[in-house]
Amino acid sequence: MNRLQDKTTELLGVDLRSLAAFRIGAACVLLLDLWYRGQEITAFFTDTGVLPRSARIDIFGIGDQFGFRHTWSLHLMSGEFWAQLGLLLLAALFAVWLLVGYRTRLAAVASWILLLSLDGRNPLILDSGDVLFRSMLLWSLFLPLGGRFSIDAWRTGTNLQLPTRVVSMASVALLLQPCIMYWTSTVFKMKALVDMPSPWTGDFSAVYYALNCDAFTTRLGLWLRQFPAAMQFLTRASLWLEIVGPLLAFSPLFTKWFRGGVVVTFIAFHVGLGLCLALGLFPVICIVSWLPFVPSEFWEWATRRATVVRLLIARRANFINYLTSRASTLFANPETPDCRRRWYVEACVAILLAYVVIWNVRETDFRNLETRLMSRDWNAPARILGLDQNWSMFAPLPRTEDGWLVMEGTLHDGSTVNLWEFDKPLPWSKPPLVSAAYHTQRWRKYLDNLTTDQHAMHRMYFCEWLAWRWNDENAAGDKTREVHRVELSHRIELTPPPGEPIPDIETRILWTWYFE
């Protein structure tokens, strides 16, 4: 009986040191994300940007066509720059608290709330990494994030009082969430088998199509496109890794070895993805999501290796004592990490986890499950809590339509200018590296969404912002240098099947807007 209990704890529990590593990684992701979004506060979050609050309410507040009707945002309280900056700085403060483990539960809850609010302000800049991250952060709220490597544990002396591992419904949910992502993504990829040969299992061309999506492909990805056999091998390997890897992480035999190997393999996998495709923080978020799987044996090995470091620190005892006294003053009233399990919390997490599993099965719509498994009337809890998930990444079929945007402005004096990069000519010819034309991943995702018909209503606001930015930075009150006309064009390049010639580039005018 004891052996069964120990094995259950090993499989479904999380080592507090691994949980602390996840906490530190999540805090770093929050700070990086806030830094990147903070560079575009005016464009993405103010009323003078690409999505004023009135447009946000009009577009996403009616119906559930785009899946954001029940989302909410504290950032909608004001459209001023100072208000948005204040909320981002507040989120950064709580992220720092989470990083060092000070008042950890408060910091985690506040960080999750402010992250949901930030995501809800402008949904068009979000990607799958945001969905995974806020889901992981929610499950972690029910775990003792400050149990190790934290100011809370150090100040309250609970480091030695807490168990090494914690097992609960929250630990199960935290471990299952990344596995759900990979398994559901695999189901989406297999859906293509129903009607046609799949590039994932037929000619294994999925990586070829992904690397031909120039808006995301890096220089390394362009180089890799020279090797068809390598791309076919990577297609097979990535598909099998997404299926088998999460299963091996829950192997009851040789658990520590399988988990350690799976964690290292997925870290290498996502590092490779990040080197070949410009995916923003998505690879980093996936790596952080695997940290709870790090086995206890790793930390015991690391502790033995850290003996030399502790000896070196001991030689600087006076300096350490000084830092300790300063920290005692700065970080007063810490929280006490708590591992107690409460039945009502366990019940709530179990219900939410079951809800997420059913949601993901429904989203695959495999065998028409969408209409039979869960009504769309049950969408509200997922939207409110940020648990709405869809993992159809490069699936069921990879993208075959790619290209770049041309943002042409005509001034009142008749001259034409590039409204995206003022000092460069209009990119009617294909840039050497298309992915470099996007300032950040947030812009890449936003502009990619603008090319789709379902987000056509956003094009007008984007064109207005382009004109406003030019007038503000270049016109200097001269009416003849102000924008009279904005034309947003999509230069479309279709990706042919492997070995076939590339078709000619086509031009599609997305929006034309005139100003007085």
Q: How high is the pLDDT of residue 75?
A: 95
239 and 189 Cβ atoms separated by less than 8 Å: yes
Q: How many CB atoms lie within 10 A of CB 347?
A: 11
Where residue 322 falls among pLDDT bands split at 50, 70, 90?
low
Q: How high is the pLDDT of residue 431?
A: 92
Better-scored residue on pLDDT, 163 or 31: 31
CA distances from residue 304 to 312, 368, 439 in whole angstroms, order as listed: 14, 54, 44
Q: pTM (2 decimals)? A: 0.92
Q: How high is the pLDDT of residue 325?
A: 56
Phi, psi of 401 (to 5 degrees): -110, 125
User: What is the dihedral sign for C-alpha 152, 154, 156, 162?
Assistant: positive
Q: What is the DSSP string of 62-95?
A: SSSSSS-TT---GGGG--SHHHHHHHHHHHHHHH
DSSP structural state of residue 217: B
* Residue 366 neighbours by CB under 8 Å, 6+ apart: 187, 191
As a whole number, the mean pLDDT across the chain is 89
Q: Read off the pLDDT of residues 239-291 as tens digits, 9 standing for 90 and up.
A: 999 999 999 999 999 999 999 999 999 999 999 999 999 999 999 999 999 99
Q: How high is the pLDDT of residue 393?
A: 81
If residue 34 lies in a helix (H) or strand (E), which one and from where to where? Answer: helix 16-38
User: Where do the domains of the chain lie?
Assistant: 2-385, 401-514
Q: Residue 71: is it exposed, middle or buried by C-beta count within 10 angstroms (0-12/13-18/19+)?
A: buried
Better-scored residue on pLDDT, 112 or 311: 112
369 and 178 Cβ atoms separated by less than 8 Å: no
- Using alpha carbons only, give the angle 511, 512, 516 rounded to the nearest 5 degrees: 140
Q: How high is the pLDDT of residue 398?
A: 74
Mapping DSSP to helix (H, G, I), strand (E, B) and coil, where does residue 403 land?
strand
87 and 19 Cβ atoms separated by less than 8 Å: no
Mapping DSSP to helix (H, G, I), strand (E, B) and coil, where does residue 32 land?
helix
Query: Can you tell me the mean pLDDT for 359-384?
Result: 78
Query: Can you tell me the mean pLDDT for 214-239?
Result: 94
Mapping DSSP to helix (H, G, I), strand (E, B) and coil, where does residue 477 land?
coil
Query: Can you tell me the mean pLDDT for 460-486?
Result: 94
Q: How high is the pLDDT of residue 471?
A: 95
